[in-house]
Amino acid sequence: MGRLRIHCDNCGGEWDVYHRDDWKKASARTCPVCGESIDPGTWGGVLRGFHELEDGSIELIKDHTQYHKTLFTVDYISDAMYPNRKESRELRDIREDLEGIKRTITALFSI
């Protein structure tokens, strides 16, 4: 069904945790980039919320398939609580490369 996308504000890394993953393993709650880890108790709360949302989504699909009601899907979008969120080094490098290309093109067209 759904998956969780985790964002690490320490390094800007992101990873997905799928239903089929063994999310009780520490690796499910650990940033693969910098190794920072979500507290196990906090992670349990996140998973409980995710299960609730999954159960609700299953009910919406049942309404659609059994009673021919309109299919609704629900996603959780994290609020931008941290507008100064760090971006990953890779993304920053790409952004800098694009700025360099933009400067080159601008210089070429001004000749």
Tokens 């910098």 — which residue? Answer: 34
Contact between 33 and 39 under an 8 Å Cβ cutoff? The reply is: no
The residue from 33, 46, 53, 60 that contacts Zn ion (CB under 5 A) is 33
* Residue 43 interacting with Zn ion (CB under 5 A): no
User: Is residue 38 a contact residue for Zn ion (CB under 5 A)?
Assistant: no
For 11, which DSSP code? T
Binding of Zn ion at residue 11 (CB under 5 A)? Answer: yes
Cβ-Cβ contacts under 8 Å for 72 (sequence gap 6 or more): 60, 64
Helices (H), the chain: 40-67, 89-109
Range in contact with Zn ion (rule: CB under 5 A) among 7-15, 17-25, 51-59, 74-82:
7-15
Binder of Zn ion out of 3, 14, 27, 34 (CB under 5 A):
34
| 10 belongs to the binding site for Zn ion (CB under 5 A) | yes
- The footprint of Zn ion (CB under 5 A) covers 8, 10-11, 13, 31, 33-34, 36
